[in-house]
Amino acid sequence: MGYKVAVVGATGNVGREILDILAERAFPADEVVALASRRSQGQDVSFGDKILKVKALDTYDFSDTDLCLMSAGGETSKEWSPRIGAQGCVVIDNSSAFRYDPDVPLIVPEVNADAVVGFSKKNIIANPNCSTAQLVVALKPLHEAATIRRVVVATYQSVSGAGKDAMDELFNQTRSVFTAGEVKVEKFTKRIAFNVIPHIDVFMEDGSTKEEWKMVAETKKMLDPKIKLTATAVRVPVFIGHAEAVNVEFERPISPEEATAILRSAPGVMVVDKRENGGYITPHEAAGEDATYVSRIRADSTIDNGLSFWCVSDNLRKGAALNAVQIAEVLINRKLLTKAKQAA
């Protein structure tokens, strides 16, 4: 007998991706339920070769549901995840609502799968920020080999990270530029078409943005609290796929050749690094793929034990939906998920 799985936020970018990935990976579910707000009730969403009718979150009974993949935003998660967890259903949450709660594991399976056992305190597991997820997948094997002291990262983040409305805004602005129409700025703080914006999420007192702070806090929680990290998060006019320019300082020397060999054997990483035209991965090529791609691995001669590399991943997949499903698979593989019907 398979599991009963609910997907909350099923009409959004990440929710639809979760449904696709559950089907692609033949997740052991006897029943999948699509949930969203009342205004989306009755809409159709696809799940493999099936069509699901969206049900309203606020009238759904989770008492016989084993797993809830939550992708409906922080405020919705704050209200609903504890309620759902209290009914015995395990919540895997894509928002930032519980990432920094000491009683909620923050998980990237390739990085810290063992920490998942702590979910039972609240029946909630947090998914990291999309930009952090791909970064720590690449950093983890390097940290194990040579111990990371400091990371400097600049992100180039696609508009899909800000939702469907943001994707529509890029499309509409681009069309307006070519047709000499009015370029309307609504979702972003400045025009995004043919532009880059060094501002993601709200500003904090020290001048950093919340997105940049998230990368620092989440890397420390999942990988090592001793790592020093500074980030500059930038939104770019790309629909899907986040890219990052990463500079790392290690405790011991590590050559580009050694780093390349380590990354080639690391779970979830694909190295594409030829020192020739096109010998690297871009967001366009990473879209729809599961891997975290690493290219441009090279020494940084300006610091002792320094390396730089380029890191690209599909933010809707490894940055969100795929990681959530992988967490669910960890729960099942380690026999940590009890079926609600059996428990009753």
Binding residues for substrate: 157, 235
pLDDT at 116 over 50: yes
pLDDT at 340 over 80: no
Binding residues for phosphate: 99
Percent of the chain with pLDDT over 90: 97
pLDDT band at 342 (very low <50, low <70, confident <90, very high): low
Summarize the confidence of residues 157-176 as an average pLDDT.
Answer: 97
Active-site pick, 68, 89, 143, 242: 242
Mean pLDDT over each residue of the chain, to the nearest integer:
96
Catalytic status, residue 143: no
pTM: 0.95
pLDDT band at 339 (very low <50, low <70, confident <90, very high): confident
Full set of structural domains in the chain with CATH: 3-127+321-334 (3.40.50.720), 131-158+196-313 (3.30.360.10)
pLDDT tens string 313-322:
999 999 999 9
| Structure confidence at residue 344 (pLDDT) | 45
Binding residues: 11-14, 39-40, 99, 157, 160-161, 235, 315
Summarize the confidence of residues 215-223 as an average pLDDT.
Answer: 98
Contacts 24+ apart (CB under 8 A), 257-266: 258/145, 259/142, 259/145, 259/297, 259/307, 259/309, 260/297, 262/141, 262/142, 262/145, 263/138, 263/141, 263/142, 263/294, 263/297, 265/141, 266/110, 266/137, 266/138, 266/140, 266/141
pLDDT band at 289 (very low <50, low <70, confident <90, very high): very high
Catalytic status, residue 242: yes
Summarize the confidence of residues 142-167 as an average pLDDT.
Answer: 97
pLDDT at 343 over 60: no
pLDDT band at 341 (very low <50, low <70, confident <90, very high): low
Active-site pick, 130, 143, 284, 311: 130
pLDDT at 285 over 60: yes
